[in-house]
Amino acid sequence: MILGPAADQSIGGTEMPNEDTQKSAPVMFKRLLDAFEFSTFGLNDEFHAVINLDTGTVHSWTDMDLEDNDEALEDGKPADLDSSDRYLDLPSKYDLNLGRRLVFDFAEQEIPQHLDQISSIFHGRGAYRRFKDFLGARNLLECWYAFETHATEAALRAWCDAYEIKLIDTPGTGTPGADPSA
């Protein structure tokens, strides 16, 4: 399994692959995005997602899935994950700078007059909840979600470009750069 890149360059906090990194079969972007969101949901690395570089299949599973079922699930943990070097772990939100930095990018762009307030929100536990409450009180929550979605898709696409992973977009998903002929 390929756990991470080995080069000195980075993209959004994730190192870019070197020239020895093997290219991937095409991957459905919607499936990749869903697995990325799934894998960043849990705490303590309990949610996992990988790309099979040979087939372009995206696998996702939880540690609870493995406790309930010793065999690989249809879309779950691949049976050969530990013995193959043809799987690539999906990055985390933090690898792609989609955590706290994204909040401040949004604030600088959309509500710069509130930067000090937002900065104070991010001291202590429950910061994201308080941030969303702050935005909700100003009718900016939908704006934040659109900003976050756009940034997530752009960062994930840049990560795929760095790994030379060809993406297949499905028509009608509203995904930028959709290639209906792919």
Reported as a single tens digit per residue, the pLDDT across 22-77 is 577 899 999 999 999 988 876 656 788 899 999 999 998 887 654 554 444 446 77
**For residue 178, is it within any domain?**
no
Shared domain for 63 and 136, answered yes or no, is no
pLDDT value of residue 5: 41
What average pLDDT does this structure show over 15-19?
Answer: 48
Place of tokens 């900065």: 119
Asked if residue 160 has pLDDT above 50, the reply is yes
- 64 within 8 A of 38, measured Cβ to Cβ: no
Please name the amino acid found at residue 76: G
Count of domains in the chain?
2
Residue range 107-133, pLDDT digits in tens: 999 999 999 999 999 988 899 999 999
Shared domain for 48 and 85, answered yes or no, is yes
Shared domain for 87 and 164, answered yes or no, is yes
Residue range 76-111, pLDDT digits in tens: 777 777 777 888 999 988 899 999 999 999 999 999
Shared domain for 164 and 88, answered yes or no, is yes
pLDDT value of residue 62: 83
pLDDT value of residue 76: 75
Shared domain for 108 and 20, answered yes or no, is no
pLDDT value of residue 38: 85
Asked if residue 10 has pLDDT above 50, the reply is no
pLDDT > 70 fraction of the chain, expressed in percent and rounded: 71
Shared domain for 80 and 64, answered yes or no, is yes
Shared domain for 85 and 47, answered yes or no, is yes
**For residue 78, is it within any domain?**
yes
What average pLDDT does this structure show over 153-165?
Answer: 94
Output 182 or 130, whichever has higher pLDDT.
130
Q: Which domain holds residue 143?
A: 100-148
pLDDT value of residue 65: 56
**For residue 111, is it within any domain?**
yes
